[in-house]
Amino acid sequence: MHDKTQVLKSLTEIYGPSGEEEKVREFIKNEVKKFVDDIKIDAMGNLITLKKGNGKKKIMLAAHMDEIGLCCTYIDEKGFLRFTTVGGVTPITCLSGRVIFSNGKIGTIGEEKREDIKEPLKLNKMYIDIGAKDKKEAEDMVSIGDTAAFLREFTSLGKRLIAKAFDDRVGCVVLIQVIKELKRCDNDIYFVFTVQEEVGTRGAQPSAYRIAPDIGIAVDVTSTGDTPQGIHMAVELGKGTAIKVKDRGMITHPKVRGTLIEVARKYNIPYQLEVLETGATDGRVIQMAREGVMAGAVSIPCRYIHSPSEMVDIEDVENSVKLLVKAISSF
Ligand code: CO
Ligand code: ZN
């Protein structure tokens, strides 16, 4: 397995729902510490690393460490767990799914009997079964407020890979790779691995305030329009890195978009233009930090986002790295 693929496997399999990013952060810190000049962890848990330049401009790249998950709200007399969501979780991706708590306890998700099978699935009719015989035994295993992540193995199909949490561990891998490959340049480059994106871009906001960047670029996944009866979207898997034009949370600054496109053309890096009609990224709050920041986003095309089996193409990952390495010295 290639180095990058190995890192992708390790990172996607780590437990890290929003608010519980410690294990992901430790892994990334160990990967990058030899290659950066400074490492800080702020109060919320954002990992802020710096590759110093000559102070020409401050550029902030952000990828989020957290993933979606479930949170235990109530344990019934028979030991079944009711739950709420952490981030955008849909009922259809929960059913029969396996989840793991931070202490390693595993459960499967079941549902109450539906009178009519055509009735829609509802999260409040579902529960996690951790194999406990009663409430007492369940309480010894899991507490109210404990968070669970989806449990699914990483699989390589060659160029295409399947895993949970490519959103946004693939963005973290892109940043790690850029850190490793980037030669010194005049700009100071801040690589920020953020917390709590999935619950509303909460980590990126204070880290952008702290850094006060001249340019901000979020690196995250985006949807594709290339599956059967899919959405009308021009992004396809394997057709290159996606330069964001807009999404629900931001409109990329024309200078950032222009520079990214120019660099991609100059170095023949395959790219696509992304207009995402649903969803947002850390770019939203970076753009609105302090007096405002020129911001944009570079996205990795991804099918089945927020399911336990998301799919990316390794070439899109590589092209995202190439584009960022060239672009951040071009601002
Ligand atoms: Co997400
Ligand atoms: Zn994301």
Q: Dump pLDDT digits (tens) for 260-310.
A: 999 999 999 999 999 999 999 999 999 999 999 999 999 999 999 999 999
> 210: CA distance to ligand 2 center in Å?
22
* CA of 220 relative to ligand 2 center, distance in Å: 5
Q: How confident is the model at residue 2 (pLDDT cuts 50, 70, 90)?
A: low
Measuring CA to CA, which residue among 216, 231, 177 is closest to residue 298?
A: 216
pTM of the shown model? 0.97
pLDDT digits (tens, 9 = 90+) for 188-247: 999 999 999 999 999 999 999 999 999 999 999 999 999 999 999 999 999 999 999 999
Adjacency order of strands within the sheet including 160-163? 155-156, 160-163, 310-313
pLDDT reported for residue 278: 92
In what helix (H) or strand (E) does residue 241 lie, and over which residues does it extend?
A: strand 241-246
What ligand has the least distance to the C-alpha of 68?
1
Question: Which two structure tokens, joined as six digits, stand for 26?
Answer: 């430790």
Determine the distance separating the centroid of ligand 2 and the alpha carbon of 117, expressed in angstroms: 33
Q: So which residues are the catalytic ones?
A: 197
Ligand nearest to the CA of 69: 1
Kind plus residue range of the DSSP H or E element containing 6: helix 3-13
Handedness of CA 303, 306, 312, 318 (dihedral sign): positive
**What residues contact residue 214 under an 8 Å CB cut-off, 6+ apart?**
57, 58, 59, 293, 294, 331
pLDDT of residue 1 exceeding 60:
no
Q: Please state the rounded mean pLDDT for residues 15-24.
A: 98
Query: What would the pLDDT profile of 83-120 be if each residue is shown by its tens digit?
Result: 999 999 999 999 889 999 999 999 999 999 998 888 99
Domains in the chain: boundaries: 3-67+164-330, 69-150
Residues measured by CB to lie within 5 Å of ligand 1, the ion = 167
CA 137 / ligand 1 centre spacing (Å): 34
User: Tell me, what DSSP letter sits at residue 251?
Assistant: B
Contacts 24+ apart (CB under 8 A), 224-232: 224/301, 224/302, 224/303, 226/303, 227/303, 231/277
Among all bound ligands, the one having the nearest atom to the CA of 88 is 1
Q: 320: CA distance to ligand 2 center in Å?
A: 15
The ligand that comes nearest to the alpha carbon of residue 65 is 2
Pairing relationship of beta strands 155-156 and 310-313 according to DSSP bridges:
unpaired
C-alpha 178 – ligand 2 centre gap (Å): 18
* Contact present, 64 and 52 (Cβ < 8 Å): no
Multiple choice CATH, 69-150, 3.40.50.150, 3.90.105.20, 2.40.30.40, 3.40.50.10610: 2.40.30.40
3-67+164-330 classified as CATH 3.40.630.10: yes
Q: 80 C-alpha vs ligand 2 centroid, how far in Å?
A: 30
